Structure 1
Amino acid sequence: MKRGKRYIEAAKNIDRTTLYDTAEAISVVKKNAVAKFDETIEAHIRTGCDGRHADQQIRGAVVLPHGTGKKVRVLVFAKNAKADEALAAGAEYVGAEELIPKIQNEGWLDFDVVVATPDMMGVVGRLGRVLGPKGLMPNPKAGTVTMDVTKAVKDIKAGKIEYRLDKTNIVHVPIGKASFTEEQLADNFQTLIDAIRKARPAAVKGQYLRSITLTSTMGPGVKLNTAKFV
């Protein structure tokens, strides 16, 4: 893979043989975020889970204390009073069956998170083939299938993020923007790690957090010392 000049220059600031502590890693990643836009800072956490087994899955959600720095567009599937609640809480889009053809046939996907009341899941289920591969399907574990749509929408707007294993047993999550202070990023990261540690499946044997890398959208990764998170 061919790397750009900025990436190559930024990579010179990182000692590949060193495992950094959190504060130092955040500082290095921020310094290397030199793109012309406000880069997202991400955590990539390689676990000792085997996601092929149902009892070793990790999936949940956590509200980052300083948010993600991204404006999140929320779509809520709800009817009547619950639809009114969702709009009052700040959801950009609210609807029911009438949204199915718009999403299925017209390819409308101008939203980042989907919330649904339990009674609407029969309707939302028809969109599984569209929403599922994009990670947009509402899920009770992530708090996106709920009767409390007000709390769901407000939490998402406040910086709630979902975490789950990918096919290679890695969790990829944004923890903020390069414009955040180092303290804000450290707070968000610690909140995320605490949640993932609590979510450790009982069936996982051996080391749970194998490696943690922090990176910015365009910058090189910085590896953390995982010993303190074990």
Structure 2
Amino acid sequence: MKRGKKYVEAAKAIDRGTLYDVAEAVSLVKKTAVAKFDETIEAHIRTGCDGRHADQQIRGAVVLPHGTGKKVRILVFAKDAKADEAKAAGADYVGGEELIPKIQNENWFEFDVVVATPDMMGVVGRLGRVLGPKGLMPNPKAGTVTMDVTKAIQDIKAGKIEYRLDKTNIIHVPVGKASFTEEQLTDNFQTLIDAINKARPSAVKGQFLKSVTLTSTMGPGVKINPIKVM
């Protein structure tokens, strides 16, 4: 893959064979985020889990202390008083059954997170095929299936992110923007790592975190020593 001049220059600052500590990695990722827009900083964490086994799945959510730097659009499936509560709490879209054809037939995805009250999951379940592959299906473990829609919306707006294993047993999550200070990015990263370490399934034997990489949207990856963050 041919890389641009900026990427090649930025990559020179990073030693591919070195496993950095968190502070150094954060500093390097910020320095190498040289795009003209405010790049997202992401963590990619390869685990020792085997997601094919139910007892080695990881899925949860955590509120990053400094948020993600991204404005998150929230869709809430609720009715009656709970729909009113969701609107009052600042949900971007609130509805029920009438939204199904809009999402299924019109390919409407003007939202980043879906929250649902438990009594609406029968309706939302019909969207499983379209919401599931996009990682948008509400889930009790992530706090997005709940009667307390106000708290769910406040947490998401405050910087709550969901983490889960992908098919290759890697967790990919944003930890902020390149415009954040090093302290803010470090705080966010540490909060995420603490949550993932706590979520370690007891069935996983051997080393839990196999590799940890920080990267910006357009920049090179910086490897963190996984032993130091376990």
Indicate whether the TM-score tops 0.5.
yes
Cα separation, 1, equivalents of 2:3 and 2:56? 36
Match for 1:53: what amino acid?
Answer: H
Does residue 118 (structure 1) correspond to residue 118 (structure 2)? The answer is yes
Aligned to 1:15: 15
Aligned to 1:198: 198
Matched residue pairs, number? 230
Aligned to 1:226: 226
Q: Deviations over 1:8-56 (max 9, x none)?
A: 1111000111110000100000000010000000000000000000000
Aligned to 1:132: 132
Query: Structure 1: where are the runs of 5+ without partners?
Result: none
Match for 2:156: what amino acid?
Answer: I
Match for 1:132: what amino acid?
Answer: G
| 1:1-230 map, 5 Å | 1-230=1-230
Cα separation, 2, equivalents of 1:112 and 1:48? 29
- 4+ residue runs over 3 A deviation: none
Cα separation, 1, equivalents of 2:193 and 2:163? 11
Q: Deviations over 1:46-82 (max 9, x none)?
A: 0000000000000000000000000000000000110
Cα separation, 2, equivalents of 1:16 and 1:114? 38
Cα separation, 2, equivalents of 1:115 and 1:89? 12
Cα separation, 1, equivalents of 2:7 and 2:44? 18
Cα separation, 1, equivalents of 2:54 and 2:143? 19
Cα separation, 2, equivalents of 1:69 and 1:183? 14
Match for 1:215: what amino acid?
Answer: T
Match for 1:97: what amino acid?
Answer: E
Cα separation, 2, equivalents of 1:16 and 1:151? 42
How much has 1:153 moved relative to structure 2? 0.5
How much has 1:229 moved relative to structure 2? 2.1
How much has 1:179 moved relative to structure 2? 0.2
